[in-house]
Amino acid sequence: MAARKTKSTRNECSELIEASNAIEKEKQISKEVILEAVENSLLAACKNQYGKSENIKVNINRETGEVKVFAEKLVVDDDDIEDEAEQIGITEAILRYDVHDIGAVAAIEVTPKNFGRIAAQKAKQVVVQKIREEERKVLYVQYLEKEREVITGIVQRYSGKNVCINLGKVDAVLMESEQVKGEQFKPTEHIKLYVVEVKDTPKGPRITVSRTHPEFVKRLFEEEVTEIQDGTVEIRSIAREAGSRTKIAVSADNPNVDPVGACVGINGSRVNAIVDELKGEKIDIITWSDSPAVLIENSLSPAKVVSVEADEEEKTAKVIVPENQLSLAIGKEGQNARLAAKLTGYKIDIKCETQEEEQEEQEEQYSIL
């Protein structure tokens, strides 16, 4: 009977090592991490059995899986023993454990009977827990690398006004606040999303996604335009009112490259692909300029501009446009001027030529008076 128990214990020990090796290979979870976790779990169980003693150590042989428990005791003079749980006399230390120095530590095996079976049971619990923890960590790292990038998800269902999205190995929720007004999605539909933030939680990575973020449009252009990918063309600024209109300013480090044309593509192929993804959102692409006046003029496209006076210190600009261009420059509900201001960082005051002439006449009259 004793032989059977010994054989059974050995089998359980070897199974622990085999299981750890298999998990390391299949799940990319370190064998050492698993065995250390099992040791810590067994140590907690031992301390419950041995009381508050802090000198108990558990060791798992990394080759055989054999589990042993040791009590580490301080070697003292035979007459100085005060706590037998933590101290051992020098005579016993020499005779039984071959430890000859007072002040040394003797490792005394105190492995309980059938401890291999207990270890195997604990190991199963620990392995399941560690697999979950490590898989959660792996997922977190995988998706953290996608933070501030565009990712494709599959629409699952609506939860109230929020949309549940499958991102492959994890799910995300597209909140109503991050949805473009008027957009509707169907189950199984593939949509692109901007990953705003990835947080690590006990239940796995929590991913905040958006379709309204200005960087979403920027990343879509980076995916679509080869010249942006290789650095020939750069997006210098972007302003967006999601679902309605976006303005982007682009430049090229090569004078032979037309940055606007590169973003538009042949027959509008590149920009149209992005417009389709954004469900028809209008996109204005302008040429960046280091001259504030030129940049402001470009930003008010498609309106024609007569003149721009820019104050670089105050970050303000006075823009004069032909009378028939005033409404176009301002835009519906002020949108064109508002986006131009966001794009350039300037507070823009737009007037038509007639208004400017009238103001100048009034100023002249005041000066005469």
The CATH number of whichever domain residue 168 belongs to comes to 2.40.50.140
Asked if 297 contacts 273 with a C-beta cutoff of 8 angstroms, the reply is no
Please report the pLDDT score of residue 1 as a whole number. 44
Per the structure, the count of domains in the chain is 4
- Indicate whether 332 and 224 sit together in one domain: no
∠ CA 156-161-163, rounded to 5°: 25
| pTM of the complete model | 0.68
- Indicate whether 9 and 42 sit together in one domain: yes
Closest to 348 (Cα-Cα) out of 275, 247, 261, 218? 247
- Indicate whether 262 and 284 sit together in one domain: yes
In sequence order, the β-bridge partners of residue 317 are 310, 348
- Indicate whether 158 and 237 sit together in one domain: no
- Indicate whether 53 and 134 sit together in one domain: yes
Please report the pLDDT score of residue 353 as a whole number. 82
Work out whether the CA dihedral 326, 329, 331, 334 comes out positive or negative: negative
Domain closes at, from 121, 141, 161: 141
Q: What is the CATH number of the domain that holds 100?
A: 3.30.1480.10
Per-residue pLDDT of the chain (369 residues; tens, 9 = 90+): 444 444 555 555 677 788 778 877 777 777 888 888 888 877 877 766 665 556 788 888 888 878 888 888 888 898 888 888 788 898 888 888 888 899 898 888 887 777 666 666 776 777 777 778 878 888 899 999 999 999 999 999 999 999 999 999 899 999 999 999 989 999 999 999 999 999 999 888 999 999 999 999 999 999 999 999 999 999 999 999 999 999 999 999 899 999 999 999 999 999 999 999 999 999 999 999 999 999 999 999 999 999 999 999 999 999 999 999 999 999 999 999 999 999 999 999 999 888 766 665 555 554 444
- Indicate whether 65 and 194 sit together in one domain: no
- Indicate whether 52 and 122 sit together in one domain: yes
Asked if 13 contacts 67 with a C-beta cutoff of 8 angstroms, the reply is yes
- Indicate whether 70 and 38 sit together in one domain: yes
Please report the pLDDT score of residue 369 as a whole number. 45
- Indicate whether 203 and 332 sit together in one domain: no
Please report the pLDDT score of residue 362 as a whole number. 56
Closest to 239 (Cα-Cα) out of 168, 205, 288, 176? 288
Domain closes at, from 125, 141, 157: 141
- Indicate whether 177 and 229 sit together in one domain: no
- Indicate whether 249 and 301 sit together in one domain: no
Please report the pLDDT score of residue 5 as a whole number. 46
Q: What is the CATH number of the domain that holds 224?
A: 3.30.300.20
Cβ neighbourhood burial of 116 (10 Å; 0-12, 13-18, 19+): buried
- Indicate whether 84 and 10 sit together in one domain: yes
* Domain limits for position 42: 2-141
Asked if 239 contacts 249 with a C-beta cutoff of 8 angstroms, the reply is no
Closest to 17 (Cα-Cα) out of 7, 38, 31? 31
Domain closes at, from 209, 240, 263: 209
